[in-house]
Amino acid sequence: MKEDTELKNRIGKDNPFKVPDGYFENLVPEIMKQLPETEAYEAKEISLWERVKPWVYMVAMFCGIMFGLRVMMKGRAVHSENEMENISSADSIQGIPDEYIDPILDQTMMDDYTLYMYLTDVDTEIYN
């Protein structure tokens, strides 16, 4: 504490740093003088192709994806409607492992009675 008062007495309380008069008033014009001159560029006209190009690229991308999927799916057998009628629901469920059936049934959010009605194809109109 004693050292602080000694320093204040020796140096004083005045701020030793000063800004020249009119410094901030002339700051912006002085900076602008020092900047190099630049040409003003005219706005470039955008052609029709420049506007449409992103859309054409997007259409080409989707066409490529569709073509790729068609080529990849060409080897797979496609069932006709008559063949699909002959496939029973038991045949389609046989391929699903038992560990997946319980979570699937939980996600349907059906109680046992509603599930029974759905599986037996009972006409629910007569019960309402």
Q: Per-residue pLDDT tens for 16-56?
A: 788 888 889 989 999 999 988 888 888 889 999 999 999 99
Given a cut of 70, whether residue 62 has pLDDT beyond it is yes
Instruction: Give me the DSSP letters along 29-97.
Output: HHHHHHSPP-PPPPPPPPPHHHHHHHHHHHHHHHHHHHHHHHHHHTTS----HHHHHHS-HHHHHHTS-
Given a cut of 70, whether residue 94 has pLDDT beyond it is no
Given a cut of 60, whether residue 89 has pLDDT beyond it is no
> Per the confidence metrics, is the pTM higher than 0.75?
no
Mean pLDDT (the chain, rounded): 79
